[in-house]
Structure 1
Amino acid sequence: MRLLPGAEPFHHTSQDEGPVGVLLCHGFTGSPQSLRPLAEALAARGHTVSLPLLPGHGTRWQDMAVTGWQDWYAAVHRELLLLAERCARVVVCGLSMGGALALRLAARQPGNVSALALVNPALTFPAAKGAALRVVRHVVPSTPGLVGDIAKPGVREVGYDRVPSRAAHSLRELFSLVRQDLPQVTQPLLVMHSAVDHVVPPSDSALLLARVSSLDVREVVLTESFHVATLDHDAERILQETDAFITRLVTSPRDKEDIP
């Protein structure tokens, strides 16, 4: 199946494979395009970077209708293990649903995930819509979607304008599982969330911060961007915050002892 222009995955291996690998997870109905500028900038700073295309994404919404959270999670889990084999530390970044996938990786693979950097992480599903999906998914193949929630004029997100009902129901299941796992998340955590987001409510980030067991936590409020902040006015700040977070991780006294 032909990919949408810009939806291609991105991978970069640093010359020494670096002390840090960075795994980036894109959002529901989106594509790697939403995180590609961040991925390329981190690669330019010498990190080994993996930004996979999640199954069912980046082509047409009908392809996504036959996938579920297990497929999306398996894809990022596979990339995590590959990075962990080559890098002393792996930082997992996630946008929206990608944040939920990153959190599940952290809870289930604590030995392979060193830290998390999340942008507008999604953890909840509208109650009424979720209840309706139990029936609707069997009779209504898709519903209108919201793609490109970006304040910056002229910027477009590559993704679907339809949401497959079965995939949405699976997303709801993922969120439920991740919320249960939050106390198991102990890694250093950077949470960057928009003050105005028309897709994910800021209360999702508040829920995350209240339930994780991480002791090293930094919260950054993005005041100039909507949901896809990585393509919005705050894109440079997200890069700066993420790069500084990674630098602090690998230069802390404890990590200096661990890295050959």
Structure 2
Amino acid sequence: MGVLAGAEAFSAGDAAAGAAARAVPGAPAVLLCHGFTGSPQGLRGWAEDLAGAGLVVRLPRLPGHGTTWQELARTRWPDWLAAVRAELGLLRAAGHRVVVGGLSMGGGLALRLAADHPADVAGLVLVNPAVRLSDRRLAALPLLARLGLLGRPGRERTAPAIGGDLARPGAVELAYDRVPLTAAASLVEGLAGVRRDLPLVHQPVVLLRSAVDHVVPASSSALVLERVGSADVREEVLARSLHVATLDHDAPRISAATLELVGRL
């Protein structure tokens, strides 16, 4: 399946740079995780800012994303998690100390990595992290999926799009116009595990939350702040941005907060 123009994965710091970094134990790198139905395009500016500051950066395209929603319907939470886990492993093998950042579902994936690999994740930058969703009906999706009520391959049931929640005029998120419910059901199950294991996260956390978000409720960020086991937790409220803050008015603040955390670590 062809990748949509602009949805390609992004990386900065080639193999030679990685080899050089091995001579400097703990050289910093940042792994970025995009959101559900979105693509690397939504985080590209963030990644380029960090690369411009001299950091090694990896922004993978998650399986099923950046192509068609029909392909997304054939993927699940373990596929998305495996993709970012593999990137983390490569960065650690090259000797980097890794900060993981994520938007929305990407924030949930970042928290999952931090809980599962405490020695490999040095810190977290979470932007409107999704660990709790606002529509309570979504809780029934995993059961409906197990009962075969969400359709079959080629005839998946879908919901309206969730992408494009932006305040900045002219800003556009490259995201699907439909949400396949089979994949959404897997997302719900994956995030339930993230919520359960929040106390296992002990790395420094910077959480940036939009004051108005039409996709992920404020209670999701509140739950992260309340339940993580980290002693170093900082919150910033983004007053001028909506859910996709990485493409919105406050995008420079996200990059600055990431660089500040990397500097502290």
Question: Could you say whether these structures have the same fold, taking a TM-score greater than 0.5 normalized by the shorter chain as the test?
Answer: yes
- 2:150 — aligned with what? 137
Question: CA-to-partner distance for each residue in 1:50-107, whole Å, 9 max, x for gaps?
Answer: 0000000000000000100000000000000001112341000000000000000000
Compute the RMSD of aligned alpha carbons: 1.4
1:206 aligns with 2:215: no
After superposition, where does 1:83-102 map in structure 2 within 5 Å?
A: 83-102=91-110
Give 1:170's match in structure 2, choosing from 180, 183, 186. Answer: 186
Counterpart CA distance in 2 for 1:161 and 1:94 is 21
1:128 aligns with 2:137: yes
Counterpart CA distance in 2 for 1:199 and 1:87 is 37
Q: CA deviation at 1:122?
A: 0.3
Which region of structure 1 is more displaced relative to structure 2, 135-144 or 227-236? Answer: 135-144
Aligned CA distance change for structure 1 residues 133 and 145 (closer, same or farther; 3 Å): farther
Contact 2:141 2:185 in 1 (8 A): no
Structure 2 residue runs of 5 or longer lacking an equivalent are none
Counterpart CA distance in 2 for 1:87 and 1:168 is 35
- Alignment partner of 2:151: what SS? coil
- 1:42 — aligned with what? 50
Counterpart CA distance in 2 for 1:127 and 1:87 is 43
Question: CA-to-partner distance for each residue in 1:173-210, whole Å, 9 max, x for gaps?
Answer: 01100001100000000000100000001110000010
Counterpart CA distance in 2 for 1:208 and 1:148 is 24
- 2:211 — aligned with what? 195
Contact 1:137 1:169 in 2 (8 A): no
After superposition, where does 1:209-220 map in structure 2 within 5 Å?
A: 209-220=225-236
Q: CA deviation at 1:133?
A: 5.9
Percent sequence identity over aligned pairs:
55
After superposition, where does 1:12-161 map in structure 2 within 5 Å?
A: 12-13=12-13, 15=17, 16-17=20-21, 19-125=27-133, 126-131=135-140, 134-135=143-144, 136-138=149-151, 140-161=156-177
* Paired AA for residue 190 in structure 1: V
Contact 1:190 1:218 in 2 (8 A): yes
- Alignment partner of 1:20: what SS? strand
Contact 2:107 2:128 in 1 (8 A): yes
- 1:7 — aligned with what? 7
* Paired AA for residue 185 in structure 2: H
- Alignment partner of 1:41: what SS? helix
- Alignment partner of 1:221: what SS? strand
* Paired AA for residue 201 in structure 1: P
- Alignment partner of 1:200: what SS? coil
* Paired AA for residue 2 in structure 1: G
Counterpart CA distance in 1 for 2:141 and 2:83 is 28
Question: CA-to-partner distance for each residue in 1:4-45, whole Å, 9 max, x for gaps?
Answer: 111000011164437101100000000000111110110111
- Alignment partner of 2:166: what SS? coil
Contact 2:85 2:113 in 1 (8 A): yes
* Paired AA for residue 38 in structure 1: W
Structure 1 residue runs of 5 or longer lacking an equivalent are 250-260
Counterpart CA distance in 1 for 2:238 and 2:141 is 33
Aligned CA distance change for structure 1 residues 144 and 133 (closer, same or farther; 3 Å): farther
